[in-house]
Chains A and B, each alone.
Chain A
Amino acid sequence: MVSKKKSDAETKSSANDAELLHSMLLQRRFEERVAEAYALGKIGGFCHLYIGQEAVSTGTLSMLRADDYIITTYRDHGQALARGISSRSVMAELFGRQDGCSRGKGGSMHLFDQNTNFLGGHGIVGGHVPLATGVGFAIKYRGGDQVIVCFMGESVVNTGAFHEALNMAALWKLPCVFIIENNRYGMGTSLERASAIHDIYERGAAYNMARQQCDGQDIFAVRQAVGEAVERARKEQQPTLLEVRTYRFMGHSMSDAVSGTYRTKAELEEYMKRDPISLLRAKMEKDGTLNEEQLQKMDADIKAVVQDAWDFADASPELPLEALYEDVYVDTTT
């Protein structure tokens, strides 16, 4: 999903529906196998699935250039894949192997990839938002026309880091696109129980920042809103706060039940009727751009890619023990 050249910007934003579907389906099938690998003990630690939110990652990243920057939270598998980091290196990272995109030192929550300007998954809620402002600052400092997209969960808006970072981004007119993936819950706490304001994009008003809300299950709505925000950042050096309304179909992490004390099964089922992948499929079927046979083939190809990623990860060694002390400091000066 990542174009190689700057001049591909237009081609990118006209990415065809089949490409979008492929990207979303890859994330879905990949994470279904992640859940399986987790159950088998091949993946450990905290592991947060993205299932249900794929239109946000694919929709957003399909609007970016290869030289733009992305930074995100611990719920980062979907965005990593949508950015074009290989399934092999993401799976190897989850397995804790040396061919992982962070050499097995980061794990599920800390996927990094310098080749695609993927500045990491970060584990402290809110902590990465000032980093995004800093990347925006660096872009402006160098006089470039890149943008930085910062993904975050809706709980982040209640942190001090969010407030400090958005204020500076607006004050200094930085090319930042802040995307709140409002999946309605931070672990077991609903938005209504955590934030005094419920249309959280309105928080942008406090920073005099352009702000918008959109449907996160409809990939075209996401692309439309992100496209405007990216344009505003690139052409006018102005940040945007975008609230994307979505829903996670799985538990908060692998150790959390899908539904339970904080949300009912009925609510979950209601939201699952708007599966972003089904919505795009239905649209394509209606447009006559996808038939059952094509879909089956795409799915089979993706499953093969994911199986290959699994086999690759399984065969990749863990880092040798000497690597324990590597990467603490760089041994260079300028």
Chain B
Amino acid sequence: MPVVTYRDALGAAIREEMQRDDRVFLMGEEVGVYNGAYKVSKGFLQEFGEMRVVDTPITELGFAGVGVGAAMVGLRPVIEFMTWNFALLALDQVVNAAAKMLYMSGGQYKIPIVFRGPNGAALQLSAQHSQAWESWLAHIPGLKVVAPGTPYDAKGLLKSAIRDDNPVCFLEGEMLYNTKGDVPDEEYIIPLGKADLKREGDACSIITHGKMVLVAMQAADQLAKDGIAIDVVDLRTIRPMDVEAITTSVRKTNRAVVLEEGWEVCGVGAQVVDHIQRECFDSLDAPVIRVHQADVPMPYTKSLEKAAKPDLPKTIAAVRKVMYLD
């Protein structure tokens, strides 16, 4: 199978969907002439022209709304945010317009739109550029929220997101663009709302999504050396969440660590734990532990940044703790 970067997998997904459906277009800052801030749309302008690969002014609220308006009357926009940090300026359009239009119009106006871009911390970008937004977005009925961790998932899920008739927030890992993985040449799609069991084990579940999938896999590798077999549940879609996959895993392993990139308070992990305590109460052999970013804005200096981020040692320590090994 061809080995492809996460970046190219995303690019291929958009390109294929634009070839398949002429209502699909890409809009955002630097997507055309510049080939994309993260080069996801390299060569798109030449292939599709400027009506379908649209460079915008720096105007997040405005172009998010342009996407929603175009979707109301039948187009299928893919709106790129240079990063989700800047999408905060557009949240009125994402939340008050895209997510609610179908409901407040009594079912008349669907909004088939994808809002996508890098999410989460990179390296030493400091407080305003290092944030994971999924819990904010997943809070909103009317939105779907997707966060792929591998090139294979990125491509299959983005194709589904573009074909979905609902607004989808697609969160790409800022640190994942250069990662590589197997991506078949043949077309495939991955349905939204389905988790993926990335590793099978019976000792403990790690439930995670997005960039943290890589950390969970590394933790599973390392713990395997000590004979500890981890079940890695990659949620892939945060909303709707595949709660059955969580139940199945935790009922099997009786222990769970919930790993996410964002902050603790009202985070995605809190939602996962809520589900576990209701559906797996009698199966639990230990309290569930959450691994997440420290409850502070991201610092710049290297040592503090490292201390703030969820990582491999913290994940392994959490697993050992729920297994009462330490």
Chain A residues lying within 8 Å of B144, measured Cβ to Cβ, are: 329
Nearest opposing residue in chain A for B96, CB measure: A124
Q: Indicate if the CB atoms of A102 and B108 lie closer than 8 Å.
A: yes
The interface stretch among B63-71, B198-206, B294-302 is B63-71
Query: Complex: how many Å from CA A58 to CA B175?
Result: 55
**Chain A 307-334 interface 0/1 with B at a Cβ cutoff of 8 Å (1 = within):** 0000000000000000000111110111
Q: Indicate if the CB atoms of B65 and A326 lie closer than 8 Å.
A: no
Which chain B residues (52-70) contact chain A, with CB distance < 8 Å? Answer: 52, 56-57, 59, 61-70
Nearest opposing residue in chain B for A164, CB measure: B62
Query: Complex: how many Å from CA A123 to CA B75?
Result: 23
Chain A residues lying within 8 Å of B103, measured Cβ to Cβ, are: 105, 327-328
Q: Indicate if the CB atoms of A106 and B104 lie closer than 8 Å.
A: yes
Tell me, rounded to whole Å, the shortest Cβ–Cβ distance linking B253 to chain A: 32
Query: Complex: how many Å from CA A105 to CA B108?
Result: 11
Chain B: number of interface residues, binned into ranges: 35 or more
Chain B residues lying within 8 Å of A138, measured Cβ to Cβ, are: 69-70, 73-75
Asked if A80 is at the interface of the complex by the 8 Å CB criterion, the answer is no
Nearest opposing residue in chain B for A171, CB measure: B57
Q: Indicate if the CB atoms of B61 and A102 lie closer than 8 Å.
A: no
Q: Indicate if the CB atoms of A133 and B62 lie closer than 8 Å.
A: yes
Q: Indicate if the CB atoms of B108 and A141 lie closer than 8 Å.
A: no
Instruction: Report whether over half of chain A's contact residues are helix, strand or loop; otherwise say mixed.
Output: mixed
Q: Indicate if the CB atoms of A333 and B102 lie closer than 8 Å.
A: no
Q: Indicate if the CB atoms of A167 and B102 lie closer than 8 Å.
A: no
Chain B residues lying within 8 Å of A101, measured Cβ to Cβ, are: 106
Which chain B residues (102-146) contact chain A, with CB distance < 8 Å? Answer: 102-110, 112, 141-142, 144
Indicate whether A161 sits within 8 Å of B65 (C-beta atoms), given known contacts A134-B70, A334-B112, A334-B163. yes
Chain A residues lying within 8 Å of B57, measured Cβ to Cβ, are: 164, 167-168, 171
Query: Complex: how many Å from CA A300 to CA B186?
Result: 69
Query: Complex: how many Å from CA A138 to CA B67?
Result: 9
**Chain A 100-144 interface 0/1 with B at a Cβ cutoff of 8 Å (1 = within):** 111111100010111000011011100111111111111111000
Asked if A165 is at the interface of the complex by the 8 Å CB criterion, the answer is yes
Q: Indicate if the CB atoms of B65 and A327 lie closer than 8 Å.
A: no
Nearest opposing residue in chain A for B52, CB measure: A141
Nearest opposing residue in chain B for A124, CB measure: B96
Indicate whether A165 sits within 8 Å of B65 (C-beta atoms), given known contacts A328-B142, A333-B165. yes
Indicate whether A127 sits within 8 Å of B65 (C-beta atoms), given known contacts A138-B73, A138-B75, A330-B166. yes
Q: Which 3 A-B pairs have the closest CB atoms?
A: A134-B69, A130-B65, A164-B62
Known: A138-B70, A333-B164, A334-B112. 16 other contacts (CB 8 A): A71-B69, A103-B106, A106-B106, A110-B104, A124-B96, A130-B93, A134-B67, A134-B68, A137-B69, A137-B75, A164-B57, A168-B59, A171-B57, A327-B103, A333-B160, A334-B163
Show the binding face of B for A, using Cβ within 8 Å: 21, 25, 51-52, 56-57, 59, 61-76, 92-93, 96-97, 101-110, 112, 141-142, 144, 160, 163-166
